[in-house]
């Protein structure tokens, strides 16, 4: 590991994220000392092929076996492709691909071999970010909140703000920027709100052979079925106090709730469920946020964004409105977190994952000099 990583100065870190939407690998460079964001660098994206996506989809929910091994090979190869073209990088943060997440049961499982990636790239790699948090009693998710705190400082926020990530699963981070560090009491509150893009994508794939409801075009033609929405909101998860987290498939029965609806009404109803789950979640914030900044693929869906604006009592805007990159924010988060892990700084705590004490999880795989 380089002296820069061991010390206190800036590190040029490269983060990679492959999310539950199974679209591809996001890669992004962040210059950081593990506390402040000093600057943002290059970004890249490597899409999964249809065949690769099918392998990953077949492995969702498994904990071992041939399907998981095949998924691991896809993830490793795709990440080498995605990351090999970056230069001048001192450290890589490698999230891997979550196949199963059951923090109150079997734990958490991401495929992807960080040691093999370090050998391929000849750069130290931080990986397996979630296991330590889960083993200590935390939810293991979400992990981006400490980075969101740094983002709030970067944009000069003066009042409490919420970062809302709409990937396969939705999650929020409440940030009080008046605090000095994310570890401080009251600085953060984070949790998964509920399903987001995953059930919409799954329905589009199953019914129409499409990967997503591009631009919310199908949802715009449908109507929300209120009976199905009410049944969805009656799920016990919404009554649980945060922090709390979900697996991608925890709400698989959503598809059954809309099973008798037309394609348009089904997608509109799933979109409405996502927005309603977020609205329920925002009620847990200690004070009303001044604004909600949306990241992840869901911000590209104007129907979903309109539903959120109607449901919430503060401005709802894509993170681009404050100069951030909503397509790359999670990849940037793992670049930032990698530096924190390498320097022994915490990456999660009681207010973000419910872990009893601050945790700086992750394995650091180095390369031979």
Residue 369 confidence class, pLDDT cut points 50, 70, 90: very low
* CATH 3.30.60.50 fits domain 156-322: no
Whether the ω angle into residue 142 lies within 30 degrees of 0, i.e. cis, is: yes
243 is written with which tokens?
């922090």
For residue 48, what is the DSSP state?
A: P
What is the pairing mode between strands 11-17 and 91-94?
Answer: parallel
Whether the ω angle into residue 243 lies within 30 degrees of 0, i.e. cis, is: yes
Residues 289-333 pLDDT 10s: 999 999 999 999 999 999 999 999 999 999 999 999 999 999 999
Residues 88-122 pLDDT 10s: 999 999 999 999 988 878 999 999 999 999 999 99
Assigned CATH topology for domain 3-141+328-365: Nucleotidyltransferase; domain 5 (3.30.420)
What was the pLDDT predicted at 2? 44
Calculate mean pLDDT across residues 252-269.
94
- Spatial separation of the C-alpha atoms in residues 350 and 226, rounded to whole Å: 36
Same fold, 3-141+328-365 and 156-322: yes
All structural domains of the chain with their residue ranges: 3-141+328-365, 156-322
Residues 200-240 pLDDT 10s: 999 999 999 998 999 999 999 999 999 999 999 999 999 99
Which residues on adjacent β-strands are paired with residue 40? 30
- Spatial separation of the C-alpha atoms in residues 193 and 321, rounded to whole Å: 23
Write down the pTM of the prediction: 0.92
Residue 253 confidence class, pLDDT cut points 50, 70, 90: confident
Per-residue CA distances from 299 to 29, 39, 97 (Å): 22, 24, 22
**Per-residue pLDDT for 180 more than 80?**
yes
**Per-residue pLDDT for 266 more than 70?**
yes
**Per-residue pLDDT for 267 more than 80?**
yes
| Helix, coil or strand: residue 263 | helix
What was the pLDDT predicted at 104? 77
**Per-residue pLDDT for 65 more than 90?**
yes
Report how far apart the first and last C-alpha atoms of the chain are (Å, whole number).
Answer: 9
Q: Which strand ranges, in their side-by-side order, compose the sheet holding 11-17?
A: 37-47, 24-32, 11-17, 91-94, 125-127, 363-365
Quick one: three-class SS letters along 49-102? CHHHHHHHHHHCCCCCCHHHHHHHHHHHHHHHHHHCCCCCCCEEEECCEEEEEE
4 is written with which tokens?
């820069």
- Spatial separation of the C-alpha atoms in residues 159 and 334, rounded to whole Å: 25
What is the pairing mode between strands 91-94 and 125-127?
Answer: parallel
Q: What is the CA radius of gyration of the chain?
A: 19
- CB 83, CB 105: distance < 8 Å: no
Residue 251 confidence class, pLDDT cut points 50, 70, 90: confident
E-assigned strand segments in the chain: 11-17, 24-32, 37-47, 91-94, 97-102, 107-111, 125-127, 161-166, 169-175, 188-195, 292-295, 316-318, 363-365
């Amino acid at each position: 590991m380089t002296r820069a990583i061991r010390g206190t100065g800036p590190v040029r870190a490269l983060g990679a994220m492959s999310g539950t939407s199974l679209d591809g690998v996001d890669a992004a460079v962040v210059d950081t000392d593990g506390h402040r964001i000093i600057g943002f660098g290059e970004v890249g994206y490597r899409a999964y092929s249809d065949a690769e996506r099918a392998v990953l989809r077949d492995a969702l929910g498994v904990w071992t076996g041939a399907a998981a091994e095949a998924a691991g090979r896809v993830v490793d190869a795709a990440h080498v492709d995605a990351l090999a073209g970056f230069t001048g990088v001192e450290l890589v943060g490698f999230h891997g691909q979550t196949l199963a997440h059951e923090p109150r049961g079997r734990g958490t499982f991401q495929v992807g071999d960080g040691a093999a990636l370090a050998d391929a790239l000849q750069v130290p790699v931080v990986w397996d970010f979630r296991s330590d948090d889960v083993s200590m009693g935390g939810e293991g998710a979400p992990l981006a909140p400490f980075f969101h705190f740094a983002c709030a400082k970067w944009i000069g926020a003066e009042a409490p703000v919420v970062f809302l990530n709409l990937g396969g699963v939705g999650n929020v981070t409440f940030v009080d920027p008046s605090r000095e560090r994310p570890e401080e009491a009251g600085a953060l509150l984070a949790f998964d709100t509920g399903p987001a893009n995953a059930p919409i994508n799954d329905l589009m794939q199953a019914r129409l052979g499409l990967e997503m409801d591009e631009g919310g075009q199908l949802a715009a033609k449908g109507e929300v079925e209120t009976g199905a929405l009410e049944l969805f909101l009656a799920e016990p998860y919404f009554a649980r106090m945060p922090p709390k987290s979900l697996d991608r498939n925890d709400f698989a029965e959503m598809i059954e709730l809309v099973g008798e609806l037309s394609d348009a009404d089904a997608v509109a109803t799933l979109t409405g469920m996502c927005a309603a789950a977020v609205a329920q979640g925002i009620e847990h914030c200690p004070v009303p946020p001044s604004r909600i900044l949306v990241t992840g693929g869901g911000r590209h869906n104007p129907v979903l964004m309109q539903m959120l604006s109607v449901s919430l009592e503060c401005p709802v805007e894509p993170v681009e409105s404050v100069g951030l990159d909503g397509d790359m924010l999670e990849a940037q988060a793992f670049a930032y977190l990698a530096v924190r892990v390498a320097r022994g700084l915490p990456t999660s705590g009681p207010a973000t994952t419910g872990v009893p004490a601050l945790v700086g999880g992750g394995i650091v795989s180095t390369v031979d000099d």
